[in-house]
Amino acid sequence: MDILPLEEETRASSVTSISSDSIPSSSPPPPPGEDDRPPNKKRRLSPPPTRAPAAAASSSSADPPFESAYIGSFLVGNAWSTVRGKGYVKSGDEIRVERDDMEEKSTFVKPSGSTKSTGKGKGTSANGKDKRKKQMSLTTMLKPQPAKAAKKKVNDVVRLTNKSGFEFGRLPQEVASWVSKLLEMGIIDFKGSTMIDCPTTLHSGADLIVSLSVYIRASAFKPRAASSEEPTKVIFNEGQETLDEQILRERKSSLLRLFDMVGLKPVRGSVSRPGKDLDSRLSDDDIRNLAQRPEKSKSTVKAEVGGDGEEVEAEAEGEGEELSENQLNLIYKKAQENDRKMEEMEPADTFSLTLRGYQKQALAWMHSLEMGTISARESKSMDPLWSEYAFPGEPKDGVIDLTADERPFYFSPFSGELSLEFPTTERKCRGGILALVGMGKTIMLSALIQTNREPDLTEPERRVQEDLPNKRRQLRLDAAFRTVSRQVAKAAAPPKSTLIVAPTSLISQWSDELGRSSKPGTLRVLVWHGQNRLDLEAALEGKDATDVVVTSYGVLASEHAKGEKSSSPLFEIEWLRVILDEAHHCKSRQSKSARAVCALRARRRWAVTGTPIVNKLEDLYSLLKFLGFTPWSTYSFFRSFITLPFLDCDPKAIEIVQVILESVLLRREKNFLDTDGKRIVELPEKEVDVELLEFSPLERKIYDSIYNDAKRNFEQLSAKGLVSRNYTHILAMLMRLRRAVLHPGLVLSTQRNETPAGDGSVDVNALIQQFSETNEMDNSSEFVESVLTNLGDSNSECPICFDVMDAPMIIPRCLHQCCKDCIVAFLANCAENGSEGRCPTCSQGPVSESELLEVVPSRADPESSQQSSAPQVTLRRNDFRSSTKLEALLQHLRRLRDQDPCFRAVVFSQFTSFLDLIEVVLQREQLMWFRFDGSMNVKKRSEAVTEFKAPSRKPKVLIVSLKAGGVGLNLTTANHVFMMDCWWNAAIENQAIDRVHRIGQEKTVYVKHFIVENTIEGRILQIQKRKTAIVKEAFRGKSGADSESVENLKIMFGDD
Amino acid sequence: MSLPKRIIKETERLVADPAPGITAAPHEDNLRYFDVTIQGPDGSPFANGVFHLELFLPEEYPMSPPKVRFLTKIYHPNIDKLGRICLDILKDKWSPALQIRTVLLSIQALLSAPNPDDPLATDVAKHYKENEKDAQRVSREWTEKYAMA
């Protein structure tokens, strides 16, 4: 519980020292009397209350400027008399309030031998109480106390005495219960309390009305010390309450009671904070918003639906304490408050690019965090766990001096601590979270790496360097299996390398960008991944040591798993800095990667992610844990101060998160404004166009039959109430439907084997040959020649539609031509009438669709075609069945090619099998294409991207699987985006579009979204709109078929 | 329902460049419905006659053939008294590459070359087979009677 800055001299905690040499619960308590107390008890923070207050503020260096301060008074109407007779006390007399004796106190401080768990284990806490009660009765047996008192809670007794010290009464139990504790802990003192009313003749049990004036003692404000071992302990039994915590808890509840009794309210802080800037405060509406969270669902299912092993959605979800977009914005609001005013910083000389203003600010911020200087953002936040109180004026002779300065003091209602110092939010970790989307974070971090290169020496390290000879000998012994000299070097030299962990798809981008942003030879980057995992330790030492190592989460996790048997260099090396890219990859605290990244040893830690909080507050925990951001990096702490209050709709949770983020997070979005009120990033326009397509009759038929099947199936399940149980099955049906929209071939397995190899091209001359052989007509050769000369003549008319032929097709038998659509429709018509396909012009037959030859104008380089007399067309077999969506894509690509002969386009789809078809279509269209999907290894992926980006006069298309390439990639060379299908969540789609529409993009970005009308896609859009962007996963795992998912399914299968 | 481009084009061409001896004009209220006249070919018993026909382009056109019928009475073995025409390209030999013009030219040719072996009006066909001269006389008479204004 180290919430407060710990000064070295106060570190020796009396409480812990007592507890460490404490008496086991079975042993008898120490005998009464101060003399017998062990000497270390003299270091108690709270001096014995029986002593004069002056003795209290003795041992501390930072004494408060007073011994005790008035904080209020309260009336107790049912104190009772313990004596009989007259003359002990009368109304108006000054009275004293005294604790029984020292006995109870030591009982109290003594460990009860049990620990209490905060939230879960009520049982253990009850046990703890029982044990303590037993001890107390043991104590009381040794004491010369009236038996009557023993029946009651003896340790609560608070006596009222008159001036001469004679006890005449006691405080009632409900008051005594907490007053006794405060007295014991030396927090309060009663001075100038008076008897308001009492009978002149006292009798046992007579009611006394007393007014108690409470003074808070200076010693109460001394910072409590926490034992240094505590954090480690907590790791082993998370959620357990330590003895220390238990005392604090009692102290805190007693103090709260006191404040309540004397009517002391916080001026600002955890309960209310009127002093804050208006715009940073949560309005009531906000709080209400925050309170309205979606119901939680607890399910973690990685559903693999689709049957053919294709990558599918249904992401793993933990406890679904999801947050809406608005809630997230509220959370981030505070963290961004002072951002505009931040200072800028120039990068090191080796940095070869120019940083933008906001990037320089970010650099300054990161630099200051790494250097441990006070946050660049002027932090004026009070620690969210604290409240500010003002000392009330002390009535002097019944008059309150209103002119006196109000002095504030601070109290943490969570820990029970008191302080006179302003509690600022404290941070010890060096590093933070960068929440940047498309803002050039790679560049910023590169600047940071180059600017903050020098290792920082810690004290022990200097010592290590001095002690080197000794050290070497020692190391030799325990490092028998490792190269000794290296170990020594490692131990000797402070770390100066940076480790970057990124998703596999981004590794090469990192190494490219780092190279690009540094002057040649100044930054040595090593990609440590796949086969070429060299000896890391060797690479990191010597003069040419690698500055930056880039690796993937996968490698990290597997090395970590290996590490259980043999240690991996990744975890042995102490890094100067570790950077996690797309850090939300390890948002789940139990995941392998999360555990692996936390096991890394590093001086400085950075987490980079566009979404620090994906959909629930706990997402943040893993990041804080990685950063070592105490105390929040302790799970139990995080859970009890953030998660649980949030679940109870306590807006405090959000405020705490806000304050944490303020000190640790830098968030930027493209539309933020800079100091001059301009957007920090000027991006060109983005035009998104949803194009509604219509199925061809055949596709419609296929789709409808699949849809009706699925619908019937769903309705049957729904009628039987089995929807939730057959969730996976239903999801599979949905998948089928979504594929059917793209291409019928994706669901009809019989058509799949039609997918031809190669590009289906046919040699024109071979065709002529074939024609001449089969036709004996004399003039055949002339005819052939005329056909061929006119091939590719774009003006010839289709005999069926009378229009200029669109995608002319040649019937190989007679060389007659038609539009593709016309001839295909005609052949289908023939088949329907039961007749053989034939040429519409000459009726020669039979003709089948797949033998038709498509005439494709060659788009070879103009120079080469001039040299040769080869026909400027290519013929290709019509053995590929297209689909509405593919045709729409092709149509746009053709148009693009006409307008801009060197266009660059990116095509996204979720289905790799559809990517296969797109590939074929592009190949047939003779467009240069590259592919990027999850099945490719890093090398191939990076090749694809590099080649796509390489300058060329030809058009290029990159086809990307939404899952693999939706994040991180930088594809600003392209400015046309085609979304072939739609995802449950629009945010994912937008993120994909942001690959292109991001910093560095200079042209307007055109986004085409193809939607086939009257299909499931329209309904997906409906769901997207229905829960504007909250629906991270509209369909969670199978057991998580909560009402909402079922609702969504109803949309899917409902009637329009 | 918009008219397919093909029908518009055909109509334009029929008007701009009519086939000799043939006229075809669409109705104003239904552009798929044509009033057609065909002059009887010279040297045939139908010479000098002007025959009125109606032609309708069905929804599926050009995937299915147009429907054509004589409105003027005609004595011909392949045309019945309701004006229905027996012509292969109007039935199973239809091809979308054919068009209104070619259909009408084929009908004109049919007038020149009756085919009594594939009859529709069986009595006329029998007459033509048994006594072609007399049958041609009747055809001429009918032409004078019905096809000349």
pLDDT along chain A (1056 residues), means of 10: 43 40 43 44 41 38 60 81 80 77 42 40 41 43 42 64 81 82 79 80 82 80 49 41 63 79 69 36 44 39 36 35 60 61 77 78 80 52 68 63 64 69 61 74 84 64 46 42 41 74 83 83 82 72 79 84 72 85 78 82 83 70 79 73 74 73 73 58 79 84 84 83 76 82 72 44 59 52 62 71 78 80 82 81 78 65 39 59 84 87 89 86 85 84 86 88 77 90 76 82 88 84 58 36 61 64
**CA A1036/CA A727 separation, integer angstroms:** 9
Q: How far apart are alpha carbons B66 and B10 in whole angstroms? A: 13
Looking at residue A1033, which CATH number applies to its domain? 3.40.50.300
Which pLDDT value is given to residue A406?
62
Which of A618, A646, A668 is the C-terminal boundary of a domain? A668
Domain boundary among A842, A877, A912: A877
Shortest alpha-carbon distance between residue A805 and chain B (Å): 12
CB contact under 8 A, B97 and A799: yes
Residues of chain B with pLDDT under 50: none
User: Cβ contacts (< 8 Å) between A840 and chain B: which residues?
Assistant: 95-97
Residues of B with catalytic roles: 86
| Same domain flag for A504 and A638 | yes
Q: Identify the closest residue of chain A to B64 by CA–CA distance.
A: A829
- Does one domain contain both A944 and A979? yes
Domains and CATH numbers, chain B: 5-147 (3.10.110.10)
Residues 6+ apart with CB under 8 A from A842: A814, A816
In a domain, A5, yes or no: no
Q: Do both A1037 and A915 map to the same domain?
A: yes
pLDDT on residue A753: 41
Regarding whether A916 and A1012 lie in a shared domain, the answer is yes
Residues of A in contact with B9 (CB under 8 A): 802-803
Facing A802 at nearest CB: one of B10, B63, B92: B10
Residue A185 in contact with residue A251, Cβ under 8 Å? yes
Interface of A with B (CB under 8 A): 799-803, 822, 825-826, 829, 835, 838-841, 843
CATH of the domain at A825: 3.30.40.10
Q: Chain B residue with minimal CA distance to A826? A: B63
| A195 found inside a domain | no
> Using CA atoms, how far apart are residues A1040 and A1027, in angstroms rounded to an integer?
18
In a domain, A930, yes or no: yes
Q: Would residue A358 count as lying in a domain?
A: yes
* pLDDT tens-digit readout, A698-741: 788 888 888 888 888 888 888 887 777 777 787 788 888 888 88
Integer-rounded Cα Rg, in Å, for chain B is: 16
| Domain that includes residue A917, residue range | 884-1050
Nearest to A829 among B6, B63, B92 (CB): B63
Distance in angstroms (rounded) separating the CA atoms of residues A288 and A124: 35
Question: How distant is the Cα of A673 from the closest Cα of chain B, in angstroms?
Answer: 52
B5 contact residues in A (CB cutoff 8 A): 801-803
What is the count of residue pairs from A and B with beta carbons less than 8 Å apart? Answer: 36
Q: Which amino acid is at A522?
A: T
- Minimal Cβ distance to A843: which of B9, B63, B95: B95
Q: Distance (Å, rounded) from C-alpha B33 to C-alpha B67?
A: 10
Shared domain check, A902 and A1042? yes
| CA atoms within 13 A of residue B125's CA, in its CB half-sphere | 14
Domain check: are A826 and A909 in the same one?
no
How far is Cα A820 from Cα A879, in angstroms, rounded to an integer?
Answer: 12
Predicted local distance difference test score (pLDDT) of residue B107:
93
Q: What is the CATH number of the domain that holds A592?
A: 3.40.50.10810
Contact between residue B77 and residue B115 where contact means Cβ atoms under 8 Å apart: yes
A783 and A663 part of one domain: no
Say if residue A543 is in the same domain as residue A664.
Answer: yes
| pLDDT tens figures, A771-820 | 555 554 445 556 666 666 666 555 678 888 887 777 778 887 777 888 87
Q: Are residues A888 and A975 in the same domain?
A: yes
Q: Which of A829, A835, A841 is opposite residue B97, by nearest beta carbon?
A: A841
State whether A974 and A1028 are in the same domain. yes
Task: Please check whether residue A93 is in contact with residue A201, taking contact to mean a CB–CB distance below 8 angstroms.
Answer: no
Q: Find which of A802, A819, A824, A842 to mutate to test the B interface (most B CBs within 10 Å of its CB).
A: A802
> Burial of A403 by CB count in 10 Å (0-12 exposed, 13-18 middle, 19+ buried)?
exposed
Cα gap A898→A900, rounded to integer Å: 6
Q: Are residues A937 and A1028 in the same domain?
A: yes
> Which three-class secondary structure state does DSSP give residue A940?
helix
What type of residue is A662?
A: E
pLDDT of residue A822: 83
Dmax of chain B from CA atoms? Answer: 51
Alpha-carbon A948 to chain mean position = 32
As beta bridge partners, residue A136 has: none
In a domain, A245, yes or no: no
Distances (CA, A) of A286 to A384, A702, A910: 18, 49, 36
The number of residues in chain A equals 1056
Q: Exposed (0-12), middle (13-18) or buried (19+): which is B117, by Cβ within 10 Å?
A: exposed
Instruction: Provide the pLDDT for residue A1019.
Output: 80
Question: Which residues on chain A are in Cβ contact (under 8 Å) with B64?
Answer: 829
Last residue of a domain, one of A877, A909, A944: A877
pLDDT of residue A865: 37
Q: For position A997, what pLDDT does the model report? A: 85
Residues A921 and A848 in one domain: no
Report if residue A164 sits inside a domain.
no
- Contact assignment for A801 to B6 by CB distance below 8 Å: yes
Residues of chain A positioned with their CB less than 8 A from the CB of B92: 835
Q: Which stretches of chain B sit within 8 Å of chain A by CB? A: 4-6, 9-10, 60, 62-64, 92-93, 95-97, 99
Q: How far apart are CA A974 and CA A967, in angstroms?
A: 16
| A355, part of any domain | yes
Interface test mutation site (partner A, options B6, B59, B101, max chain A beta carbons within 10 A): B6
Q: Count the alpha carbons within 13 Å of B95 in the hemisphere toward its beta carbon.
A: 17
Q: Which two tokens stand for residue A617?
A: 């507050």
Q: Of the candidates A803, A825, A835, which has its C-beta nearest B63's C-beta?
A: A825
* b/e A938-963 (16+ beta carbons within 10 angstroms → b): beebbebbeebbeeeeebbbbbbbbb
Q: How many domains does chain A have?
A: 3
Chain B residues closer than 8 Å to A803 by CB: 5-6, 9
pLDDT of res. B37? 93
Is residue A820 in some structural domain? yes
Location of structure tokens 């040299």: A867
- Find chain A residues with C-beta within 8 A of B60's C-beta: 829
Q: What is the pLDDT of residue A86?
A: 78
